[in-house]
Structure 1
Amino acid sequence: MGVTGLARYVNAPTTGLDLITRNIVQNHQGAIRGKWNISVKSFRSTLGSIPGFQVHSERIMYALTMNDNVFVLLEDPVAPVRSELLQPPEGQAPIPLIGPGAPTHYRTAFLTLSPPGALEQLLAQLRARWVSVRQTAPGGPSQANHFSGQQLSVDGFVYHIGTDFIVRAGNVILAGGAVKGMLIEAEYLPLPTMHAGADGTLELLSNLLVSCLPEIPGANFTAVTISDAIWQDLLWDREQEEIQQQKEKEEKEKPPKEDDLDDVFVSGDEDLPEFRKGDWIGTDRDQRSAYLIIGALRSEGLL
């Protein structure tokens, strides 16, 4: 698993997938290695239907199924944004992020669940007040129908270009069968992380994605990016921060450790980067890709 870049081909022709396949095979000596399938569902809360309970705005939840995991983005429009609390306006007292006085939750939460279908099963068992934005059975009152029916899917292929690059391309298909452009993703396997440009794009992968497109005049091709700061804020975990603060407190209370030069077996590795949560490997890579896909489709009103 390596660093990835995602792009949206908004006005792709109906033959776009075939054209990209031909371009990758003929011009990049690539080969098809499998199918690329993603399904996305969106839900909304129905807390306002509870007698005597008033809500300013209903909550929204998106569930994207990729491989054996489901990535869930939950949003509460009236909850505070954590990054804004880190830098309060001048003259306003800071609000603690953890402990007494801290918010119970923030505007967004991003979760990884497994196996696929577990979210719908849990919501049905709890009789949770969530309904699918699209229900398969018109007018059906049963609880199961509230969580059934995917809103859209991505159907395409996975290509290998040499041993270093993987390209994924697929049509965005609505529930009724209409095709709404394409999603294209490139992955560079040798590196788990890469420095992005000022606009958040990765030049190496952006150039590869552009080269995979057929030469069609007027193509609307847009890179989908997110800054590292926003991504780290999205992955913030209250429990992990409390554990980290407790460890730092214990380290400060310990007596200083004397250096024993005879006990040094390895040196010179002090400046090597450590693994960080959110690096582009394994489930973390899929998690970041899922968030970008949800964001791209939401911005066009497809979710």
Structure 2
Amino acid sequence: MGFTGLARWINAPTTGLELINQNIIRNHHGQFKGRWNLSVRSYRSTLGSIPGLQVHSERSMCALTMNENVFVLLEDPSAPTRADMLANAQQADSQGGGAGQGTSAVQGPPHYRTTFLTIRPPGALEQLLAQIRARWISVRQSGSNAPQRNQGMGQQLVIDGYVFSIGTDWLVRVGNVILAGGVVKGMLLEAEYLPLPVLRSQTADGTSELLSNLLTSVLPNIRDAKTVAVTISDSQWEEVLWDREEEERQDQEKQMEQQSGDSSDDIYVSGDQNLPTQRRGDWLGVDRDRRSAFLIIGALKSEGIL
């Protein structure tokens, strides 16, 4: 598992997958490793149909299946973001004249605008929604020509393509974005640099020149090709990964360390005992897949495909 970068080829032709296949094998001496197959379904809530309940806006939910994990993104447009709450707390601190007073004065919401979950095994989400009779319905694309009957059991969108290795350092995944009716909506390309599990980007948007250069070289030289990088900054990703219980646990650990006293006089203390060997959000294991899934869902939602 390594550091990854994602790109979207919006106007890729129907032969785009084969063109990239030839380019990687002939010009990069790449090796075919297997298939790349993801499936995505989107839902929307129907809370507005409950008598007497006023809903400002319905909530949305997207579920992306990758291998044995399902990554679920829930969004409530009427809920605040965590950044908004922190800004309000800081403003309350400045008005109250004391640090920490505003944080306790501002009441936290029951949930924030975005919630990102990992569920396994595949199919568990649909089973749960059916068992509790949740007010969520599957959303189908308006551009799909598939019959409406029994569509709720099928996948709304699939990403189907190939995985290649370039040397021993790179993995490249390329796939067509295919709607339920078989219509192809461009391509997704993902490059993974295996030697580095983490690469802190120096740019505000989180792009990496190393990955961008490889993805650019993989694309065939086609006139008027529309490609965009799909990125997220480290601060935005930290907000996505934020966990209330985890933050409370870390605060308790800090308080216990402060109460136990400073161990700087201990001759056996090296000074790096408090440095984490692995940070939350590092691109390892499921965390790498989570970040990739979040970027893919975000890219497709921004284009109105989901």
Q: Structure 2 length normalisation: TM-score? A: 0.89
Structure 1 counterpart of 2:29: 29
Q: Note if contact 1:62-1:294 (Cα within 8 Å) is conserved in structure 2.
A: yes
1:228 corresponds, among 220, 223, 234, to 234
SS in 2 for 1:244: helix
**Deviations 1:222-269, CA, capped at 9 Å, x for gaps:** 1000000000011100011111111222222224446332x45xx475
The within-5 A match list for 1:64-83 is 64-83=64-83
The number of aligned residues is: 295
Deviation at 1:173, TM superposition (A): 0.3
Deviation at 1:181, TM superposition (A): 0.5
SS in 2 for 1:87: helix
CA distance in 2 between counterparts of 1:212 and 1:271 reads: 42
Q: Does residue 275 in structure 1 map to residue 285 in structure 2?
A: no
Deviation at 1:133, TM superposition (A): 0.5
**Deviations 1:146-204, CA, capped at 9 Å, x for gaps:** x5332211000000001110000000000100001000000000001113242421111
* Counterpart AA for 1:82: R
Structure 1 counterpart of 2:9: 9
Q: Note if contact 1:6-1:292 (Cα within 8 Å) is conserved in structure 2.
A: yes
Structure 2 counterpart of 1:160: 165
Q: Note if contact 1:97-1:103 (Cα within 8 Å) is conserved in structure 2.
A: no
Q: Note if contact 1:71-1:287 (Cα within 8 Å) is conserved in structure 2.
A: yes
The within-5 A match list for 1:179-258 is 179-198=184-203, 199-257=205-263
**CA gap 1:60/1:180 in 2 versus in 1, 3 angstroms:** same
Q: Note if contact 2:162-2:175 (Cα within 8 Å) is conserved in structure 1.
A: yes
**CA gap 1:272/1:100 in 2 versus in 1, 3 angstroms:** closer
Structure 1 counterpart of 2:174: 169
**Deviations 1:275-297, CA, capped at 9 Å, x for gaps:** 11111111000000000000110
Q: Note if contact 2:169-2:193 (Cα within 8 Å) is conserved in structure 1.
A: yes
**Deviations 1:108-149, CA, capped at 9 Å, x for gaps:** 000001011100000001111100012987377xxxx7x533
CA distance in 1 between counterparts of 2:17 and 2:30 reads: 14
* Counterpart AA for 1:176: G
CA distance in 1 between counterparts of 2:158 and 2:279 reads: 31
The within-5 A match list for 1:22-61 is 22-61=22-61
Deviation at 1:100, TM superposition (A): 8.6
Percent pairwise identity? 62
**Deviations 1:49-107, CA, capped at 9 Å, x for gaps:** 11222211111000000111000000011001101111228577799778993211100
CA distance in 1 between counterparts of 2:86 and 2:119 reads: 29
Structure 1 counterpart of 2:298: 295
Structure 1 counterpart of 2:115: 109
Q: Does residue 121 in structure 1 map to residue 127 in structure 2?
A: yes
SS in 1 for 2:250: helix
CA distance in 2 between counterparts of 1:280 and 1:176 reads: 34
* Counterpart AA for 2:137: V
CA distance in 2 between counterparts of 1:291 and 1:35 reads: 20
SS in 1 for 2:178: strand
**CA gap 1:95/1:10 in 2 versus in 1, 3 angstroms:** farther
Q: Note if contact 1:186-1:208 (Cα within 8 Å) is conserved in structure 2.
A: yes
